[in-house]
Structure 1
Amino acid sequence: MTTSSGSTLPAPDLDERYGRTPDSRRRGRLIAWGAGIAVALVFLAWVVWAGLDGTAPKLEVRDTGYQLTESTATARFQVTVDPGTAVRCAVQALNEQFEIVGWKVVDLPPSDERTRGFVETVRTTMQPNTGLIYRCWLP
């Protein structure tokens, strides 16, 4: 390349001009390795967390019916849980507007059976429309 005065300028180093130097390549490799290690650590942590969760007892609850009176709701339900595991359940009664008009927490003792049926009666503050299990959990 020549200037208007006739002197020649050195040709620009295009790699350096556009950031393709050995330092930038090394930096790119370090960033890639760091990102790969971070992804591997997150995956490993998830595998350990998910693996430890598999030892918890499984709990299933199913409503099987209900009976109503003027001031009570009787809920029938089945609980399936590993033998020897205690369970706590909340039974609720709802009116026609789906408002809670009765609520009761019951403790179900451990048993040798996996699936058991229960009947619980809940007193209500007004005429109920249904009686059912709200939720069960392991105490």
Structure 2
Amino acid sequence: MSTANAQPTDLDQRYGRTPRKGRRDRLTLIIAAAVFAVVLVAWVVWAGLDGSKPMVEARDVAHTVIDDQTVRVDYEVSMPAGETASCAVQALNEDFTVVGWKIVDVPASDRFTQAFSDTVRTTLPANTGLIYHCWLT
């Protein structure tokens, strides 16, 4: 019976299973979990604060092909009052290739939604005009 009691101790020593190593493994696990929690909380705070910027939205209302080199685009821009923005207006041909492009500055206003109409010169005949993207400036 004395050999049966001594055998697990010999195996523990042989494979490095000691009470000290167990405590060290637990400590390593706790530290790793704490670091993960800190990084996760920092990311959540950063993502939450980053999303608090005011947004701008644009909506195509209509387009008119004036001639082979000109398209008029009617659109609305919604953004917080007092903010300025810029919008990219584009003209596309029947193959959905961009044949005209223009950056338009949207002035600040006391209204949330403003309507605009801009002409875009094209390099080839276009069949549509639309707002590509708007951003606050």
Aligned to 2:57: 60
Aligned to 1:98: 96
CA distance in 2 between partners of 1:75 and 1:34 (Å): 59
Aligned to 2:22: 25
What TM-score do you get using the length of structure 2 for normalisation?
A: 0.87
Per-residue CA deviation, residues 14-61 of structure 1 (Å, 9 max, x unaligned), is: 333343211211121111111111111111211221221233111111
Note if 1:85 corresponds to 2:92: no
- Three-state SS of the structure 2 residue aligned to 1:122 is strand
CA distance in 2 between partners of 1:24 and 1:95 (Å): 70
CA distance in 1 between partners of 2:39 and 2:20 (Å): 29
CA distance in 1 between partners of 2:91 and 2:64 (Å): 11
CA distance in 2 between partners of 1:114 and 1:19 (Å): 70
What TM-score do you get using the length of structure 1 for normalisation?
A: 0.86
Note if 1:48 corresponds to 2:72: no
CA distance in 1 between partners of 2:44 and 2:94 (Å): 46
> What is the Cα deviation at residue 69 of structure 1?
2.2
CA distance in 2 between partners of 1:59 and 1:19 (Å): 62
Aligned to 2:36: 39
- Three-state SS of the structure 1 residue aligned to 2:132 is strand
Aligned to 2:116: 118
Q: Number of residues paired by the alignment?
A: 132
CA distance in 1 between partners of 2:16 and 2:58 (Å): 63
Aligned to 1:109: 107
* RMSD of aligned Cα (Å): 1.9
| Structure 1 portions without partners, runs of 5+ | 2-7
Note if 1:73 corresponds to 2:94: no
- The structure with the largest helix share of the pair is 2
Runs ≥4 residues deviating over 2 A? 14-20
| Structure 2 portions without partners, runs of 5+ | none
